[in-house]
Chains A and B, each alone.
Chain A
Amino acid sequence: MEHIVTDMGCNASIEDREESKSEKAIKAAVLIQKWYRSKRAQLEISRCYSLNIFQSIEYADEQDQAQLASFFTFMLERYASPDAVADTSISPSVSHEVDSYLTEYENIEVPDSYCGPRLSFPLTLADANALLHAFKNGQLLHAHYVLKLLCETRRVLKEKPNINLVSVSYSKEITICGDLHGNLDDLFLIFYKNGLPSEKKPYVFNGDFVDRGQNSMEILIILFAFLLIYPNDVHLNRGNHEDYVINLRYGFSNEVLSKYKVHAKVILYLLQDVFSWLPLATIINKKVLILHGGISDKTDLNFLYLLERNKLKSLMRPPQPEREEQGKEGAPTARPSTCAANKRGAGKTRRLSSSGFTELSCPNSQPGPTLKEWKQVMDILWSDPRMQNGCVPNKRRGGGCYFGPDTTARLFERYNLKLLIRSHEFKREGYELTHGGKVITIFSASNYYEEGSNRGAYIRLNPDLIPRFVQYQVCERTDKQNHWERMKTIEHSALQILRERIFAHRSTLTEAFEKYDCDNTGNISVSDWAAAMESVLCLELPWRTLLPHLAKTDPDGKVDYMSCFHNMEIAQSTEEVQPALVETLCKYRKELEVIFNIMDEDHSGLISFDEFRKTWRIFSSHLGIEAYDASIDKLAQSIDYNKDDYIDFSEFLEAFHVVHKGDKKPT
């Protein structure tokens, strides 16, 4: 509304009005500013706890895998023994020898119709470029070349010591990359920004090349190709994910199976061996130690240098305890926390014999690794740094240690080191310094949990050994979401997986809640609710902050604890089936997927019901839970859909998918 001001010589009134107008504007500005700043801070916190949720669940999951490792290897032994895989030309007596697989590629013909790269060995830069080009266009490298490449890679890796000793001379800089986890776009981005590996541009790749992302295979192929072309300038360190047992669960095995089908198993077998030949660490100019996880107070670099690293095919199988230690639960520091014990019931130990497992052995069948060897390698591949002094078992991961600044200082003194560069942990900015700058974490997989979750980074180290960090982030969808919406998507995603986990623990949680609810009101205090959540889920999350997203509170501030479960349900309605069984199947859905993949030898997507029943009994016995035989029968029948005693396992898995009712994901 405009006031027409007639100037009657009354300047004061005009100024008053204008002043009040500008006063208004200032007040409005202050209001908007304080509102925006608070919104922004709340968004920041939500991002923090979202990433916290992702990370906690990831580690809790890894911890579970350590428990299930022997079960999976038992499955491998039963279903995927080498004899079933290779050509009949390989006689049974040598079926466990790696050499017999090395020439397997000769038996694989490349059809004329194949238009992907045709590698010629010894590889040249032209081959590497052909690979990069092909992968940018979504092509696959033919199994014949994959196997040949693996064969050559193994030959080159075998020549390398356990610890690469590298000199960076005056004119060169060396680039160090961390976890890539199958994110091919990140590797392309790094090469784009930093240049391809060459004699002038040496690189160290610090492990965890595979799992989780979609292109683990392509990353391996590229890294191995460059290794072959520049064997003195490309250095690969083993990560904890370069491990066939871990790969079963975290996607790499599935990726290979789906991309290479009939040839997948041979590829996976060879990879078992190739991974075990990856060096364990790299030291630059005798001052900078680079390894994947971390260290412990027992880390002995000389010992590590001398052990036979290829004996350790998987770190998920601790060596058999010594005779005197028979009956103890495996290696001392690597067992999960009491939390897991509570989950599974006290006193449950592995029931399966782990004798005889499908691992390729060396030609002269050496004895397996010793406990000390296993632990030393476990420590360097699984440990994490922490702020407090001391070195304690890493209960979050179920393996390795938490090492403090004093541990680092002692190691540096002992070996005259200046810097420790490691990876293994997600970092929002792609890197982080700790222990007064002595320890650097470098993480190269951007958008690791979700689009927009984090940056990746790499280090450029000059001969003065001063690190420079380069950060980046792959941007896929450019305009579809603005910053705010992207952060909300991340939060939504994190909350969904948390809710699923909550749902999968429904019965244990309900039990815990009910203990606090003496009067059966259905409501308990916030403190009790938080305590119950933590005692069952063991995720160390900020439960009070998350409460509004997870459960309803009444006007008195008490928590309606059953509301945690309200807006979720299992996809398949299974009225006649034991709810506890359904919950278990939900909880172990991913593990079941692994089991099915192992059992499905002919890749038909079907497994016999009989086999499944047997396997399920063993699995549930291993976990120390009820098998619910009758229920399992009913269940499988209800999903059978005339498959004549075969289960379509993708249908089966779909049935135990947690569905969020009224899912309103931000667009």
Chain B
Amino acid sequence: MAEQEGNGEDGAVAEIEKKIIEAFEVFDHECNKTVDVREIGSIVRSLGCFPTEAELHELLAKVEEEEEPTGYIHLEKFLPVMTKVLLNRSYRPIPEDVLLHAFEALDENKCGYLTKDELVKHMTEEGEPFTEEEMEEMLSSALDPETNTVHYRDYISMMIVDEPEDLPQ
């Protein structure tokens, strides 16, 4: 009936673990508590985290098999590491204004938009470069095909609006 009430903290940890397991299972195609190492990024991100690639690699180092990487990550290794990430609130989401400033930093002429070439150059040559696929995908939602520009304010608004719908009072 009523769930066993550990003290608040234990309860919270148990909850977090269950959430992680749920996300893990989405990618556990063979139902044997392992996932392909390439899916770890998606799992971490699906739990609401925003790590950089470098941060992901750090995390992976902690969960991969010590002796020989097999290409698979076991849940029992992943769970404690990810639990800590969520408890510590690492890799927090990015506030809208911070994101806006980032786009503005790339917008040298301060005209409120980036040309396709500008965006592609920055995204595929700098930082942690996009793959071609990632670039194409971003462009498909961000680019205004008529002017070949990205109006980043509008783009951000569109992407942010999808946060879990607030249930009306």
Residues in B neighbouring A387, C-beta threshold 8 A: 29-31
CA distance A188 to B150 in the complex (A): 37
Stretch at the interface among A38-46, A132-140, A295-303, A419-427: A38-46
Which B residues, 101 to 118, have Cβ-Cβ distances below 8 Å to chain A? 101-103, 105-106
Q: Is B57 an interface residue (CB 8 A)?
A: no
B45 to A37, Cβ gap below 8 A? yes
A32 to B45, Cβ gap below 8 A? no
B14 to A527, Cβ gap below 8 A? yes
Interface of A is mostly: helix
**Knowing that A28-B106, A527-B3 are A-B contacts, what are 18 other residue pairs whose CB atoms are under 8 Å apart, sorted by A's residue number?**
A25-B126, A26-B126, A27-B127, A28-B101, A29-B122, A31-B99, A32-B102, A33-B129, A35-B94, A37-B45, A42-B48, A48-B26, A387-B30, A483-B140, A527-B15, A528-B3, A548-B164, A551-B167
Q: Mark B1-29, 1 if CB is under 8 A from A, else 0.
A: 11100000001101100110011011001
B33 CB to nearest A CB, Å: 12
Q: Is B79 an interface residue (CB 8 A)?
A: no
Which residue of chain B lies nearest to A525 when distances are taken between CB atoms in the complex?
B3
Residues in B neighbouring A661, C-beta threshold 8 A: 168
B46 CB to nearest A CB, Å: 4
Q: Is B159 an interface residue (CB 8 A)?
A: yes
Which A residues, 359 to 404, have Cβ-Cβ distances below 8 Å to chain B? 387-388
Which residue of chain A lies nearest to B1 when distances are taken between CB atoms in the complex?
A515
A525 to B50, Cβ gap below 8 A? no
A484 to B50, Cβ gap below 8 A? no
Inter-chain contact total with CB atoms closer than 8 Å: 149
CA distance A662 to B46 in the complex (A): 28
Q: Give the interface size bracket for B toward A.
A: 35 or more
CA distance A579 to B98 in the complex (A): 50
Stretch at the interface among B60-68, B70-78, B81-89, B130-138: B130-138
Q: Is A305 an interface residue (CB 8 A)?
A: no
Contact for B106 among A29, A48, A543, CB less than 8 A: A29
A40 to B137, Cβ gap below 8 A? yes
A640 CB to nearest B CB, Å: 33
Q: Give the interface size bracket for A toward B.
A: 35 or more
Q: Is A518 an interface residue (CB 8 A)?
A: yes
CA distance A544 to B31 in the complex (A): 19
B22 to A557, Cβ gap below 8 A? no
Residues in A neighbouring B42, C-beta threshold 8 A: 41, 44-45
A483 CB to nearest B CB, Å: 5
Known contacts A45-B42, A387-B31, A488 near B162 by CB under 8 Å: yes
Known contacts A36-B134, A516-B3, A567 near B158 by CB under 8 Å: no
Q: Is B90 an interface residue (CB 8 A)?
A: no
Residues in B neighbouring A49, C-beta threshold 8 A: 26
Q: Is B49 an interface residue (CB 8 A)?
A: yes
CA distance A483 to B30 in the complex (A): 29
Contact for A24 among B23, B51, B105, CB less than 8 A: B105
B105 to A28, Cβ gap below 8 A? yes
Contact for A518 among B1, B19, B130, B158, CB less than 8 A: B1
Q: Is B97 an interface residue (CB 8 A)?
A: no
Contact for B94 among A26, A31, A664, CB less than 8 A: A31
Q: Mark A629-667, 1 if CB is under 8 A from B, else 0.
A: 000000000000000000000000000000001101010
Which residue of chain B lies nearest to A24 when distances are taken between CB atoms in the complex?
B105
Contact for B159 among A37, A484, A528, A552, CB less than 8 A: A484
